[in-house]
C-alpha cells in the first residue's frame, strides 16, 4: 500500500496536531453532483452501482476531484448487512429502501442467514480495494456500517418509518427478542467493519441514524451498548497505523458524555448540538466531527462562510475537530455552494492550529 500523503483527517481523529481542520462530508458522493447522476444511470440501479467495484470507486473519487476533502468514504449503503442476512433489499423510486422480508418474530430471527462479510459482502471489499488502489495514498479511506439499532429499525419496520412503532414495540414489549436480534447484528457489523479494515479502510464510522428516536434509557440499552460491543471487537491498527472509529448518533447530543465513554476515538454530532457545548461535555476524551446544518448549503456563499467561521470559533483552538455537516448533504444543493463551504474551512481554520 502506498504512503499516505495527507493524514490530516486521521491525525485530527486521534487529537494530534494538524495545520488546519480537516473536512469531509457525509454523502459527499451523491445526487447533488451531475457526474454522480450520470454514473448512477450508467450502472442501471443503485444496488448495481454499489456492487460494481469500478463504478463504486468512480463515484467515491468524484467529490475529491472537485473539493479539497481530506478523506474519501466508501460508496455503499448501510443496508447491505440486512440484505446479506437474507431480507432482500430493493429500492422504490421516491419511497426509499424496502425489504422483501421483515423480522418480527423469533422464527424470523432464527431464519436469518449467518454471514461471513468477506464472502457474503465480497463486493464491498472489492470496492474498498479498488478505491484504495486508485486513491494512491492521496487521502485516507473511511469504511462504514449502520449501527445495530438503526439496521434493526429497517428490518422490523420493513423500510423507513416516521414513528418506529413496530421496532419500539418489540424493544419495550419483547426485550429478549430485540436483544437477540441486536446481538446478531452487532456481531455481523463487527465482522463487516473488520473485513473493510482488512481490505484497506483506514478509519470507520458507525451511522446510528435512528438512535435519537429512543428514550435516554432505551438509547443506552438498545443502541449504545451494541455499538460498544462492536468497537471493542474492531482491529485497533492496520498497516502500522491506528484505525480510528467514529460513532455518529443523529439526535444524540444529550448523551455525549456516555458516547464519549464508548471506546470510539471520535463522536459525530448533528447540527442541533452546539459544538462549544459538545467540546465542554466530552473534554479531551474524544475528537468531535461536525456539525453544520446541511440546509445551510442552500444559503449564499457569504452566509455559508459566516456559518463555517462560527462553528470553527465554537470549537476553538487545538486539534480534535473534523469539519463535516451534521447529517448527509441534501440532494438539491448547488455544487458551487459546497466549494464555498470547503474553501471557507481551508481558509479560516489554520488560525485555530497555530500553536499545535
62 is in an annotated binding site: no
Cα(36)–Cα(30) distance, rounded to whole angstroms? Answer: 6
SS3 at position 62:
helix
165 is in an annotated binding site: no
**Radius of gyration of the chain from its Cα atoms, rounded to whole angstroms:** 19
Taking a C-beta distance cutoff of 8 angstroms, is the pair 156, 103 a contact? yes
30 is in an annotated binding site: yes
Closest CA relative to residue 326, chosen from 292, 297, 286: 292
Taking a C-beta distance cutoff of 8 angstroms, is the pair 63, 69 a contact? yes
Q: Hunting for cell 446510528 — which residue is that?
A: 208
154 is in an annotated binding site: yes
Q: Hunting for cell 429512543 — which residue is that?
A: 214
Backbone phi, psi, residue 142, to 5° = -95, 130
What are the residue numbers of the active site? 27, 31, 40, 77, 154
Closest CA relative to residue 315, chosen from 347, 288, 341, 340: 288
Q: What angle do CA 12, 14, 15 make, to 5 degrees?
A: 60
289 is in an annotated binding site: no
SS3 at position 96:
strand
Dihedral of CA 187/91/119/41: which sign?
Answer: negative
7 is in an annotated binding site: no
Backbone phi, psi, residue 272, to 5° = -80, -10
31 is in an annotated binding site: yes
**Other Cβ atoms within 10 Å of 195 Cβ, number:** 21
Feature table: binding site: 27-31, 77, 154, 209, 327
Feature table: binding site for substrate: 27-31, 77, 154, 209, 327
Amino acid at each position: 500500500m502506498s504512503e499516505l500523503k495527507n493524514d490530516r483527517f486521521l491525525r485530527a481523529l486521534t487529537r494530534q496536531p494538524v495545520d488546519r481542520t480537516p473536512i469531509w462530508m457525509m454523502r459527499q458522493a451523491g445526487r447533488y453532483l451531475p457526474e454522480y447522476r450520470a454514473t448512477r444511470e450508467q450502472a442501471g440501479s443503485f444496488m448495481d452501482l454499489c456492487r460494481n467495484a469500478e463504478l463504486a470507486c468512480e463515484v467515491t473519487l468524484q467529490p475529491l476531484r472537485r473539493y479539497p476533502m481530506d478523506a474519501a468514504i466508501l460508496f455503499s449503503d448501510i443496508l447491505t448487512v440486512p440484505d446479506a442476512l437474507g431480507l432482500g433489499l430493493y429500492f422504490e423510486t421516491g419511497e426509499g429502501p424496502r425489504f422483501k422480508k421483515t423480522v418480527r418474530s423469533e422464527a424470523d430471527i432464527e431464519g436469518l442467514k449467518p454471514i461471513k462479510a468477506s464472502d457474503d459482502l465480497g463486493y464491498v471489499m472489492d470496492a474498498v480495494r479498488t478505491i484504495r488502489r486508485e486513491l494512491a495514498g492521496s487521502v485516507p479511506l473511511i469504511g462504514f456500517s449502520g449501527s445495530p439499532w438503526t439496521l434493526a429499525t429497517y428490518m422490523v419496520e420493513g423500510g423507513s418509518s416516521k414513528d418506529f412503532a413496530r421496532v419500539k414495540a418489540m424493544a419495550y414489549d419483547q426485550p429478549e427478542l430485540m436483544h437477540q436480534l441486536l446481538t446478531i447484528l452487532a456481531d455481523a457489523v463487527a465482522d463487516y467493519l473488520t473485513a473493510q479494515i482488512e481490505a484497506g479502510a483506514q478509519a470507520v464510522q458507525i451511522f446510528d441514524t435512528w438512535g435519537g428516536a429512543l428514550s435516554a434509557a432505551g438509547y443506552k440499552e438498545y443502541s449504545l451498548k451494541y455499538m460498544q460491543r462492536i468497537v471493542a471487537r474492531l482491529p485497533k491498527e492496520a498497516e502500522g497505523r491506528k484505525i480510528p472509529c467514529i460513532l455518529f448518533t443523529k439526535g444524540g447530543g444529550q448523551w455525549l458524555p456516555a458516547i464519549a465513554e464508548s471506546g470510539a476515538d471520535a463522536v459525530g454530532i448533528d447540527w442541533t448540538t452546539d459544538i462549544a457545548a459538545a467540546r465542554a461535555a466530552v473534554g479531551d476524551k474524544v475528537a468531535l466531527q461536525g456539525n453544520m446544518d446541511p440546509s445551510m448549503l442552500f444559503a449564499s456563499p457569504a452566509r455559508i462562510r459566516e456559518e463555517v467561521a462560527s462553528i470553527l470559533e465554537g470549537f476553538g483552538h487545538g486539534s480534535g475537530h473534523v469539519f463535516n455537516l451534521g447529517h448527509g448533504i441534501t440532494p438539491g444543493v448547488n455544487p458551487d455552494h459546497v466549494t464555498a463551504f470547503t474553501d471557507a474551512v481551508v481558509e479560516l481554520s489554520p488560525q485555530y492550529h497555530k500553536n499545535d
